[in-house]
Amino acid sequence: MSQPITVEPDTRVRLADFDAGYRSGIEHKRDARRETNEHTAALGELAYKLYAENRRALLVVLQGMDTAGKDGAIRNVMRGVDAQSCRVTPFKQPSIEELDHDFLWRIHRAVPAKGNIGIFNRSHYEDVLVVRVHQLVPEEVWRQRYEVINTFEKMLADAGTRIVKIFLHISKEEQRERLQERLDNPDRRWKFSRGDLAERKLWDEYQRAYEDALTLCNTAHAPWHIVPADRKWHRNLIISRLLRRTLEEMNPQFPPAEEGLEGVVVE
């Protein structure tokens, strides 16, 4: 049975209805990787045109549980995009300066400029996820943030920023295996923290928080895409498809050349 990637607005999301191991009917990893390579090459050309056009921007928001593959997706899908036109911003625990401002202050500063692609590795959604699960602010505070986020994203969209929000959906068992792999591999152990185990105990609370974010902040101008992430090759393929399709819909064009250049010879 097929499974949707893009969530329709006004849909109540239940993550239990989405199979994290879904692979879109693709039988072989080599086929997925071949197609992914085609998309990444196209992304490079489209991003170059977007940069040259310098009229609009693309913002990619990546969210997911620990080990869902945010870093891996960025590394694999965006490898063909020129670094001068693409910036990755990871959002970790807020600094003292950031906490002295509203929760969107640090986010707005990282929004991509015209012609650029911005990738958020975690994002403003942490303020209705981690903040909620760990009860860092009262419920009456985080509950009103859904509407604030929708307004913020509408403002960006109206200003010419296309927003692609991606939730990397990983199963609890797959997360266990990936955490254990980090522990067992000396070259990857640096990525493991005891805090990962504490966060894992809050799995159900995070699932509920994500379901509310995916439901309440799913709009026509900034829809959510639920990408099955248990299979890394499938995750990369779906994200590359999404981003290529988005940029093709934006259809960036090279700006016209300066007039009177015909026949000019550089000596």
Is the Cβ–Cβ distance between 239 and 229 less than 8 Å? no
Q: What is the pTM of this model?
A: 0.95
Write the DSSP string, 137-192. Answer: S-HHHHHTHHHHHHHHHHHHHHTTEEEEEEEEE--HHHHHHHHHHHHH-TTTGGG-
Domains of the chain, by residue range, sit at 15-250
Which tokens in the block code for residue 67?
């080990």
Is the Cβ–Cβ distance between 74 and 80 less than 8 Å? no
The CATH number, out of the four listed (3.40.50.150, 3.40.190.10, 3.40.50.300, 3.40.50.410), of the domain defined by the range 15-250 = 3.40.50.300
Q: Are strands 57-64 and 86-90 parallel, antiparallel or unpaired?
A: unpaired
- Among 228, 244, 226, 248, residue whose Cα is nearest residue 6: 226
Q: What is the pLDDT of residues 129-157, one digit of tens each?
A: 999 999 999 999 999 999 999 999 999 99
Mean pLDDT of 234-245: 97
Q: How confident is the model at residue 1 (pLDDT cuts 50, 70, 90)?
A: low
Q: What is the pLDDT of residues 104-115, one digit of tens each?
A: 999 999 999 999
Which tokens in the block code for residue 191?
């990525």
